[in-house]
Amino acid sequence: MNEQRGAARIPLPGRPAKAPPVPSHPLYEPETDEVVWNGRYPVQRVRFRFRKRDGSLSELLTWELLRRGQGTVILPWDPVTDRIALIEQFRLPALAAGEEPRVTELPAGLVDPGEDPLETARRELEEETGLVPSRIEAIGTYMLAQGSCDERVHFHIARVSLEGARDRTGGLAGEGEETVVRVVEAAEAFAMVAANRIRNAPTALALLWFQVNHARLKEEWTP
């Protein structure tokens, strides 16, 4: 994060910490920036113009901005058996969208303020699956819904042992979570993505990355 962006994110007095003003930028001409909902994920209503490629300003726009902050996604892989740990859990938004509410996905979670995303990945992996990685590396950082949400998601791959992990339950009871671990062969996971049986975009993205890098990682990470 550069100094200009970091300075612009300092909240104004009276604003919730999770909903600071939108950072200044040469392309961004704000008119108003107000917090209209301060729940679990705050919502801002921003009226602004942006500078177009010819240098002129756009018409006045009004956007609602969902503030989720940063997240992590973790792909747990056992290179010895070439198996992957997926999880299943109930997701209300999936039901609202007309999808199957028990979603197959990868362990994931939100980064706490000041926390290193890699440490978040370790924590979420253990909370949701009970697995402890012997190695963990970054895949990349992506935005998943830049048309409405500020969330930046850090993707990781973790080396784990999946001995006895199948059908293990996890999740934080205090947060109402219930996750069930599903262990699958890497080839089966790739086939699930190809057949659109994985409906969760971060999981599909991580598995596609893994499929491209599978041979290299198999050579580098196999003891």
Q: Is 175 a catalytic residue?
A: yes
**206 and 125 assigned to the same domain:** yes
Question: Do residues 131 and 158 lie in contact, with contact meaning Cβ atoms separated by under 8 Å?
Answer: yes
State the Cα–Cα distance between residues 24 and 160, nearest whole angstrom: 42
Indicate the residue among 66, 85, 117 that finishes a domain: 66
Statement: residue 126 has pLDDT above 50: yes
Q: What is the mean pLDDT of residues 34-55?
A: 96
Give the residue ranges of the annotated binding site for Mg(2+): 108, 124, 128, 177
Q: Is 101 found in the same domain as 183?
A: yes
Residues 151-203: tens digit of each pLDDT? 999 999 999 999 877 777 777 777 777 889 999 999 999 999 999 999 999 99
Best CA proximity match to 75, nearest among 191, 209, 179, 188? 209
Instruction: Please check whether residue 151 lies inside any domain of the structure.
Output: yes
> What is the span of the domain harbouring residue 163?
70-221
pLDDT tens digit sequence for 99-123: 999 999 999 999 998 999 999 999 9
> If residue 220 lies in a helix (H) or strand (E), which one and from where to where?
helix 201-221
- Considering the candidates 3, 175, 188, 220, report the single residue annotated as catalytic: 175
One domain for residues 212 and 132: yes
